[in-house]
A and B are shown apart, each in its own frame.
Chain A
């Protein structure tokens, strides 16, 4: 597109030049971190260490230190797993699907959203690993030849499909993210004054030379990876939903699970991106790149996906009632009015009701409201998984085995530990990587930068007449 309609909001504020963009995005990682960064980093790292310590404790003592019991065979661990995987989805959605829909506002946020994806998937992947208890034979997850162990994997199990899905997703996301970073690393390299750092950035940018041929190959690879990522966004949470929906457990076995899990994942992922970006733009002074318009677009996605999730909740309720299956009936009655009703209503109010506030333009564009609601959504989506998993298990087909699940301090500690790991990694990322895609942002400066928009406003009316000729 040559010139965009003047009614579109600018995406880069402050009359930037190309040099300024480079400077303002790279500078934060060249200087020293401020006290605030060290403080937050210390807290996050301590939480991470605490979590790792509790994981070691779990390995040493056994899974009995968790709150699981015979009826509720998995709860906290799988809740955390699904929650973290879901959060990861926003990065891939932004980098692949928003790319296909040519949403220019993605440029400011894709880098950090993709980083978030990778860190979230790392946190998620820990849970299946540690819940096996005997971590030293964790390679039995994989279809390794029988000589290595006594068991061959069960290819009929969605849990195995999940393993493949998550590892593919992780690899492609990492590859996509890294490829995008190559020219930006070269930009950072070119500004380095310390020879050692220059060398490091040269290695990580694969000696990027910026020739036309390099750019052409770069774009080709990016396109192929975007093509691969698009089905991956759908497939990963679809297969996570299969973990539940292939079973014959009331409340789990429902056909709407695949698309509804994907929508929920994008919903929670965008909420987490909003939380992180609101802090990052303030700390790194990026308000002119991550503008209120960006946040408003994200809030629109949050209200749409939140409503899709809401429609799915209601569909499940209505069809359970319509179906006449008494077990389904009871599963939903138990969710809404049973001993875990408090969790159900937290889920309903955080996921379905509160995001509806984003229908109001004022709330959509308010930084404080966005920040608060993004956290509310993250809480709600954690409870969604908890509700689905625990309420369907704790009162199963056999009333004599009905019981409750309560997390232990180890359960809670490990979850806090993964939050610590996530934030530690993200804080390290924000100190060493260009947090906004420099090259991509530059590509929209002359279309969506506010200075250029002012200059071209009058031309927009004319350009249509020429535009039709090429």
Chain B
């Protein structure tokens, strides 16, 4: 069965994308810095979701997982957004590099000339403009390369069958995981941690990873549920949905674990250089957003998704997924805004609409890729295991 996007849905998504882009323009009119910050937020978040979807595919190759094959084309298609997301992200990075904006304050030549911490630490080398730009290109280029490689091998398997594509994909996946293990951390230092460039935390990269991985799993769950509702995934049963919802639940807890570990250790030690980061977030207007974000990202899944039946209820899982995504949007907001804006800017309607617009663009790209290949891989060696998946 092949997928084709219903015209009505396409129109809704196009409209949402248009409204989103207008809202983004609105954020630029509000404050140019705020506009760039919103662009960075959406560029990073959806690129990361797309990346994490490819990571999901690679992990299942390496771990010899079979249950996901029935919907494997969904994360594969999500990975096809990577070039678009990367282009937007690169635009923001180049904007900083050419001094069109200074979201990353350390890019300001005056800061580089006078800032003591910048000049007396490794930041002078690590946060050197060209080195930073080259790293960005390496991350984005590498990710696109691996995601496309896995996608191409999967399509080749459809045509040729046999085991050779699978075995090759297994090897490329292992390579991807190694590359990902390093770059997922370092890229988050470069694009996000350096927004508060005096601050540092060794856990930061893993915390960012946990956040975008939950977002990707949740997006995947929502897409699968939507496809199923529209009659595209008859071979998927409650067990698949249960497992996807279980992953959304488990990684929500994992995200909380990392968020808390980072917060608790800094709060407990109370060292001025480190605690500043949380003072900016908990002793300012951001405080209620922080509390809301923790409630949505931890308490909500814990209470709502703990029960087995909740994870097997399609409507509940769908609604829960949307709530979790909103929670992680607020998380992204508090990751970026306090550092980039250097003041309190509440979550605005324009900001939310811009995010929805980017979501629509992301979905349009995903659906386009989804329609280009069979909705279910034809010769995957674990395909029949996935069809009989039963827990």
Contact = CB atoms under 8 A, between A and B. Distances in A.
Asked if A and B bind, the verdict is yes
Interface of A: 1-5, 7-8, 100, 102, 231, 234, 238, 242, 245-248, 253-259, 307-308, 311-312, 315-316, 318-319, 321-325, 359, 460-461, 463-464, 467-468, 470
A3 B126 CA distance: 53
A278 to B, nearest CB: 23
A315 B185 CA distance: 9
B121 A1 contact: no
B277 to A, nearest CB: 11
Contacts of A359: 174
Given A3-B388, A255-B201, A307-B181, 20 more contacts: A2-B390, A5-B382, A5-B384, A246-B265, A246-B269, A248-B269, A253-B265, A254-B202, A255-B261, A256-B202, A256-B203, A258-B257, A259-B257, A308-B181, A311-B182, A460-B384, A467-B384, A468-B235, A468-B387, A470-B237
Nearest to B263: A255
Contacts of A461: 384
B64 interface: yes
**Quick one: which of A4, A7, A8, A324 has the most chain B CB within 10 A?**
A324
B185 A464 contact: no
6 contacts: A1-B389, A7-B381, A259-B261, A321-B122, A322-B189, A468-B234
Contacts of A8: 64
Nearest to B254: A234
A463 B264 CA distance: 51
Given A8-B64, A255-B262, A322 B126 contact: yes
A323 B382 contact: no
A307 B185 CA distance: 14
A470 B238 CA distance: 10
A311 B177 CA distance: 12
Interface in B197-212: 200-206
B198 to A, nearest CB: 8
Contacts of B262: 255
Categorize the interface residue count of chain B. Answer: 35 or more
Contact of B390 (A1, A7, A245, A324): A1
B66 interface: yes
A2 B388 contact: yes
A3 B237 CA distance: 17
B117 interface: yes
A100 B288 CA distance: 35
Contacts of A1: 385, 388-390
Contacts of B382: 5
A463 B256 CA distance: 41
Contacts of B185: 311, 315
A463 B388 contact: yes
Contacts of A323: 121-122, 200, 273
B348 interface: no
Contacts of B122: 318, 321-324
A256 to B, nearest CB: 4
B387 A464 contact: yes
Interface string B174-198: 1000100110010001000000000
Contacts of B390: 1-2, 470
A247 to B, nearest CB: 7
B391 interface: yes
Nearest to A156: B268
Given A8-B64, A255-B261, A467 B121 contact: no
A464 B384 contact: yes
Nearest to A303: B174
**Quick one: which of B178, B382, B387 has the most chain A CB within 10 A?**
B387
Nearest to B268: A246
Contacts of A102: 391
B383 interface: yes
Contacts of A259: 203, 206, 257-258, 261
A255 B389 contact: no
B203 A324 contact: no
A470 B237 CA distance: 8
Contact of B181 (A242, A311, A463, A468): A311
**Quick one: which of A102, A255, A319 has the most chain B CB within 10 A?**
A255
B182 A319 contact: no
A245 B271 CA distance: 12
A102 B68 CA distance: 13
Given A315-B205, A319-B200, A463-B388, A242 B265 contact: yes
Contacts of A247: 269
Contacts of B182: 311
Given A248-B269, A248-B271, A307-B181, A464 B388 contact: yes
Contacts of B389: 1
A254 B189 CA distance: 16
Nearest to A324: B121
B22 interface: no
Interface in B236-261: 237, 250, 253, 257-258, 261
A258 B381 contact: no
A323 to B, nearest CB: 4
**Quick one: which of B205, B257, B262, B271 has the most chain A CB within 10 A?**
B257
Nearest to A307: B181
Given A1-B385, A3-B388, A245 B64 contact: no
A316 B202 contact: yes
Interface string B145-159: 000000000000000
A5 B67 CA distance: 11
A193 B176 CA distance: 58
A97 to B, nearest CB: 10
B114 interface: no
B388 A319 contact: no
A254 B174 CA distance: 29
Given A254-B202, A315-B202, A5 B381 contact: yes
B170 to A, nearest CB: 11
B261 to A, nearest CB: 4
A258 B235 contact: no
B257 A234 contact: yes
A324 B120 contact: yes
A261 to B, nearest CB: 10
A321 B261 contact: no
A232 to B, nearest CB: 13
B385 A5 contact: yes
Contacts of A258: 203, 257-258, 261, 265
Contacts of B123: 322, 324
Nearest to B127: A322
Contacts of A238: 257, 261
B388 A245 contact: no
Nearest to A321: B122
Contacts of B264: 242, 246
A321 B381 contact: no
Nearest to A158: B268
Contacts of B384: 3, 5, 460-461, 463-464, 467
B380 to A, nearest CB: 9
B163 interface: yes
A334 to B, nearest CB: 17
Which 8 A-B pairs give the minimum distances between C-beta atoms?
Answer: A324-B121, A464-B384, A467-B388, A256-B202, A255-B203, A321-B122, A258-B261, A467-B387
Contacts of A242: 264-265
Interface in B258-317: 258, 261-262, 264-266, 268-269, 271, 273
Given A1-B385, A5-B381, A311-B181, A321 B121 contact: yes
Nearest to B126: A322
Contacts of B237: 470
Contacts of B204: 255
Nearest to A235: B257
A95 B122 CA distance: 44
